[in-house]
Amino acid sequence: MGVGESQNVAVPVDAREFFFEQLGIQERWLEENVGRALCRRADDADLYFEHRTIESVSLEDGLVKTATRHVQQGVGARVVVGDRVGYAHTDDVSFESVCLASRAAEYIALESGESRSIAVRVERPPHQLYRLKEPPIVVPPQEKVHLLSRVDEVARGFDQRIRNVLASIVVEHKVILIARADGLVVGDVQPLLRMQVTCIAEDRGSRQQGSFGGGGRVEFAFLTEGDRYLTYARKAAEQAVRNLSATDAPAGEMVVVLGPGWPGILLHEAVGHGLEGDFNRKGVSAFAGRLGEVVASPACTVVDDGTIPNRRGSLNVDDEGTPTSRTVLIENGVLRGYLQDRLNARLMGMRPTGNGRRESFAHMPLPRMTNTFLLPGEYTPEEIIRSVQRGLYAAYFGGGQVDITSGKFVFSASEAFLIEDGRLTRPVKGATLIGHGPEVLKRVTMVGNDLQLDEGIGTCGKDGQSVPVGVGLPTVRVDGLTVGGTRPAS
């Protein structure tokens, strides 16, 4: 295979053309394997083909630390009977291997049955959310290294106390083809770009860090538009330097104001996971069986929307071939819906919402979030801060975790400030937010008019699988939230 041909295979621009013409997949493969799986007792079956190219470049101490390019492809076969799922996968996309994977899935889920026939219909996704002139994967590594070098230079130049800069660019180009039991065959080409910058600052024995980044399903030029990549560098450096002068965070119950954008990760973890269909079908979520009930403040309307153009969490179709949608989960405080894949929607008597997602062909789809956020309210950010006599302003978050069954969560704030007499004052460090997901939304008393989605850095983990997501939030006031710090609140 020549160089030009190799590039075409590595960077396909049309899913159907790639799988049918370049990889030689035939419609009869889909008809025979999915049709055979649809035995008398099978409720659903599908094949999921994937070809993925991932390129990563990182810089540390001003030098290229890693530069990798990885290509993987394979197919996953699924057969569903009731709530029992048979799943098998192979990285050999040949007729024989697809047949073996399909039969293995059948044996796991079925005892016996008769074959059905299906009529294959190949369709395009109903919407196109990331039409790009040039996918970022085709940009030479040299250009990526150049941008990272400039990031290193600008971050170090921000302040002499910046001792080290870690910067990376990760680009993904994923092509999928899904053949479903209802005869639908649909494909998608999914580009993805992310830059991350972490700065380490040191002064008088104190060592602090700051992080910032962004991306989406966008062209590489997204990073250079308006010198966006240099903004990432400056914000990471600014956060690290500011944390050097931060005092220890107070501890105790207090008013907390969440800043716009990335702090929506608290909403994602504390509330979003609890609204996924599988947890609610099994009755293990704190929101199970509560449709139509008041679960939040009337100021809260929570939405999951996978149809926002070019966002990191957006998809034309989910990993089961269902078009993504805008799903209202909580409306004016009332629980209205759950996030559904095909399996859980069928078992719960609901419709799929386009939230069936998987990490790769080696994983079964699960109901997952796309872009999850709180709709804006009526207050300005300034009004919200002025309303607080004493409290904490959380501008940026690091890690966190939630217990789905109880709804309890713990989050660490990587950038936070005290609010004193209605003004932002001293930066603080070591603040953690502790609470109960369903209760935290009931304590929201003011919602800002400044909704922002995050910069495009989110990755969500569930059952050992990771998928890209988006989060968002306007400025929000939460009363009576527990803050874990290193000194008593005064």
Domains identified in the chain and CATH numbers: 3-244 (3.30.2290.10), 248-488 (no CATH)
CA 124 remoteness from chain centre: 24
Sign of CA dihedral 7, 8, 9, 15: positive
Distance in angstroms (rounded) separating the CA atoms of residues 8 and 14: 11
pLDDT reported for residue 10: 52
Distance in angstroms (rounded) separating the CA atoms of residues 42 and 208: 56
Any idea which residue has 């092509």 for tokens?
Answer: 175
Q: Are 78 and 85 in contact (CB under 8 A)?
A: yes
pTM: 0.93
Distance in angstroms (rounded) separating the CA atoms of residues 225 and 143: 15
Any idea which residue has 């799929």 for tokens?
Answer: 352
Distance in angstroms (rounded) separating the CA atoms of residues 473 and 344: 28
Residue type, 190: Q
Residue 413's DSSP bridge partners are 397
Sign of CA dihedral 20, 24, 26, 32: negative
Which token pair is 68?
């990798």
Q: Give the Cβ contact number of residue 245 at 10 Å.
A: 12
| Distance (Å) of CA 425 to CA 342, 385, 453 | 49, 11, 25
Any idea what the Cα angle at residue 446 is, between residues 441 and 449, rounded to 5°? 110
pLDDT reported for residue 38: 64
pLDDT reported for residue 9: 41
pLDDT reported for residue 3: 28
Distance in angstroms (rounded) separating the CA atoms of residues 390 and 421: 6
Query: What average pLDDT values come out for the chain (490 residues) when binned by 10 residues?
Result: 36 90 88 70 90 97 94 95 93 92 85 60 91 95 96 97 98 97 94 98 94 97 97 97 95 96 92 95 94 96 98 98 98 98 97 98 98 98 98 90 82 94 96 90 97 96 96 97 74
| Distance (Å) of CA 421 to CA 142, 246, 384, 387, 425 | 51, 19, 12, 8, 9
Residue 197's DSSP bridge partners are 167, 212
Q: Give the Cβ contact number of residue 166 at 10 Å.
A: 21
